[in-house]
Amino acid sequence: MQIFETKEVRLSFVRGHEVLRGVDLVVNRGEVVVILGPSGSGKSVLLRCLNGLECIDSGKIIFEGTDLNDTRRMAALRRKIGFVFQDFNLFSHLNVLENITLARVLLDRISPAQAQEEARKLLAKFGLAEKERAKPRELSGGQKQRIAILRELIGNPDIMIFDEPTSSLDPTMVTEVLGLIEEITREKRTTLLVTHEIRFARRVASRIIFMDQGQVVANTTDIEGFFNRPPTDGIADFLSHIHR
């Protein structure tokens, strides 16, 4: 069953620069789709379009059968999409428990007690129980990003989308965040991930999308074939530079 489908999605920014040039993409339920590509290829912009953070110029984005151009339903649909940004975007004046439960209480209209129970289960499951009263300033970068992930996960979204979730982290903290994401993928939760962590992508992906200059230039479920026999010279060059 399809979760997301894009059809001929196009988007231009200032001075007519076309960032997305007719992107066709399908994400099926249970897939772990990893999007690779050089900087400026449109990967992050595409993710923002999928969550309604950018408005496309033309084409269609269909989420679970609903055209996202119907903005009247966007707020409700967005609650089914867990979106983790490059930066943590935690509320500095709230503690960890409050950051995780805020949307559940305000938007999903559940009781604070139920939200806290759900949050504590997640914190315990992923080894962060002792941090529930900590403020963001008291956390490491890796801990902040893991809390940001749990904040999205608590709503039990139909898909988790990660936009380069380790790009703002010190290298020593990358492993703990990738470990949490890998645990999520093992639960067969539909996942869409933009990353430059090639070894991680190779390990968890069920499908690889490669973007360049606003277009999808490769789309394959043959993960080992993609890395061992890159389908284009440009992809081979990209992979060789990433591995240096």
Q: Could you say which DSSP state residue 155 is in?
A: T
Q: Is residue 50 exposed (0-12), middle (13-18) or buried (19+ Cβ within 10 Å)?
A: buried
Q: What is the pTM of this model?
A: 0.93
pLDDT of residue 109: 92
Residues 6+ apart with CB under 8 A from 189: 30, 159, 160
pLDDT score at 67: 87
pLDDT of 73 reads 67
What is the tens place of the pLDDT at every residue in 127-159? 999 999 999 999 999 999 999 999 999 999 999
Res 70: pLDDT: 67
The full DSSP string for 63-83 is ETTEETT-GGGHHHHHTTEEE
pLDDT of 192 > 60? The answer is yes
pLDDT tens digits, 67-118: 887 666 677 788 899 999 988 889 999 999 999 999 999 989 999 999 999 9
CATH number of 2-242: 3.40.50.300
pLDDT of residue 243: 61
Give me the mean pLDDT over the 49-60 stretch: 91
pLDDT for 170 equals 87
Q: Give dist(CA 2, CA 60) in Å, integer.
A: 14
Beta strands 18-28 and 2-12 are: antiparallel
Mean pLDDT of all residues in 36-62:
93
Query: What's the mean pLDDT in 180-203?
Result: 94
Beta strands in 13-105 (DSSP E): 18-28, 32-36, 58-63, 66-67, 81-84
Please say if the pLDDT value at position 36 is more than 90: yes
What is the rounded (10 degree) CA torsion for 201, 142, 99, 125?
Answer: 70
The backbone torsions φ and ψ at residue 159, rounded to the nearest 5 degrees and listed phi first, read -150, 140
Please compute the mean of the pLDDT values over residues 33-43 and round it to a whole number.
95
What is the structure's pLDDT at 226? 97
Mean pLDDT of all residues in the chain? 92
